[in-house]
């Protein structure tokens, strides 16, 4: 299972000092945690391949346009989510960091209770100015 984890996530995994095993689902940016742990960025190709579908509604105002966004999980993302759930059920990973738009799309398909039982979470900043993430707080 550890080999599958490495392949599946391009080795974008880290163990925090509190023992949590975290994974970068698709962000092309690295994550720095309050304990100094760095979770590496994913490739741009993975980030593009595993992005959610954006539906935009454009509304004109006097001097600008308002864009109303709606997000949907793609078939490719759902395939990856299903693979991840196998690893989570096998207790190989604890937290998989996903982008907020993906969490919003997931909430349309899954109950909050189901999401709580999954490894999927969004980051929680400890310091926005220093861009440091909490090691024990994550967002649904």
Q: How far is CA 37 from CA 16, 31, 41, 74, 92, in A?
A: 6, 8, 13, 31, 19
Closest CA to 26 of 107, 90, 81, 69: 81
Per residue in 27-42, pLDDT (tens digit) is: 999 999 999 999 999 9
Res. 5 pLDDT band, cuts 50 70 90: low
The terminus-to-terminus CA distance of the chain in angstroms comes to 26
Q: Inform me whether the pLDDT recorded for 136 exceeds 70.
A: yes
- pTM here is 0.89
Instruction: Please provide the DSSP assignment of 113-135 as one string.
Output: HHHHHSSEEB--EEETTTTEE-S
Q: Inform me whether the pLDDT recorded for 2 exceeds 70.
A: no
Alpha-carbon Rg for the chain in angstroms = 16
């Amino acid at each position: 299972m550890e080999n599958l984890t490495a392949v599946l996530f391009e080795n974008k995994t880290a163990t925090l000092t509190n023992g949590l095993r975290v994974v970068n689902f698709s962000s092309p940016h690295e994550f720095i945690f309050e304990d100094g742990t760095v979770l590496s960025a994913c490739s741009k190709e993975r980030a593009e391949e595993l992005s959610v579908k954006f539906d935009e509604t454009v509304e004109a105002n006097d001097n600008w346009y308002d864009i109303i966004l709606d997000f949907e999980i793609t078939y490719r993302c759902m395939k990856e989510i299903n693979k991840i759930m196998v690893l989570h059920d096998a207790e190989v990973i604890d937290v998989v960091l996903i982008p907020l738009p993906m969490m919003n799309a997931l909430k349309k398909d899954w109950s909050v209770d189901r999401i709580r039982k999954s490894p999927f979470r969004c980051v929680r900043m400890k310091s926005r100015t220093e861009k440091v993430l909490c090691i024990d707080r994550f967002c649904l």
